[in-house]
Structure 1
């Protein structure tokens, strides 16, 4: 297990009702209704929140790597994250596909940047060896 050298930030959320409930952060910046995937509710679900969080974090990691390596990133870079939910034996698990768009970058440079960002990203480090994560560059 990796231990933090120093805590830079702590996110706090209060959730009630599980997948059919509500979640809000202590600072009030996030306040969402939750619904099960494919259910009748109008809220989001944990897999959608994970997809949004992971993709945003991954872009941050790419920006950090690019700054260190003095690489200019495309202004219109984006990540489309897909999070699958399904059974794993008697339990449930997730799998992730990150579809990374770096318009104008040559394929080799984009792949190297993505692979390095995958080593830096906190979400990638948290999931490594636990779930299937595919990084598609295109």
Structure 2
């Protein structure tokens, strides 16, 4: 669910609105970029590295959040997912606005994401939920178009192919 918050007021003004969503699977016609990552150690209490060709390497120590019984002394996968989603959604918003000739409408935009982890109702294990707040943009159709364009939103809305193999 998305909401928008206007920064021009002292009190945040929020209004939630939902988009209709169809389920399906998104497949790739062409791969344009690949971001590899490797986790090692004890999973949530290990480390993760990512060194895509032509970019700065990322190396983070991971720790389980205190809410899940850990020390919270490092980063966790939900933080990484929330950060990636926020930046991807902002990029989609900027691109869609630019394509529609509305670039000025998003010049002060900020995307706030919250990634929640917990036990799902449907099956055992853990599940995720995401809240997105779009700050500084009053054009709901523009936000909807960005949501429909953003790869993170598309993956969560429509599903993606995930290949798992042992090596």
TM-score by length of 2: 0.70
Corresponding position of 1:37: 65
Corresponding position of 1:4: 28
SS in 1 for 2:119: strand
Corresponding position of 2:135: 101
Shift of 1:2: 1.8
SS in 1 for 2:148: helix
Q: Name the CA distance, whole Å, in 2 between partners of 1:95 and 1:124.
A: 12
TM-score by length of 1: 0.84
Number of aligned pairs? 125
Corresponding position of 1:21: 46
1:62, 1:117 within 8 Å by CA — same for their partners in 2?
yes
Q: Name the CA distance, whole Å, in 1 between partners of 2:85 and 2:64.
A: 20
Q: Gapped runs of 5+ residues in structure 1?
A: 131-138
1:22, 1:34 within 8 Å by CA — same for their partners in 2?
yes
Kindly provide the CA deviation profile for residues 88-118 of structure 1, in whole angstroms up to 9, marking residues without a partner as x: 131210100001102xx5x3xx211110111
Kindly provide the CA deviation profile for residues 27-75 of structure 1, in whole angstroms up to 9, marking residues without a partner as x: 4521000011212142100001000000000001001101110002343
For the pair 1:75 / 2:112, whether they are aligned, the reply is no
Q: Name the CA distance, whole Å, in 2 between partners of 1:114 and 1:85.
A: 25
2:97, 2:106 within 8 Å by CA — same for their partners in 1?
no
1:22, 1:32 within 8 Å by CA — same for their partners in 2?
yes
Shift of 1:129: 5.4
- Specify which structure has the bigger relative contact order, considering alpha-carbon pairs within 8 angstroms and separated by 6 or more residues: 2
Q: Give 1 or 2 for the bigger CA radius of gyration.
A: 2
> After TM superposition, which residue ranges in structure 1, 4 or more long, deviate above 3 angstroms?
none
SS in 2 for 1:73: helix
Q: Name the CA distance, whole Å, in 2 between partners of 1:93 and 1:55.
A: 19
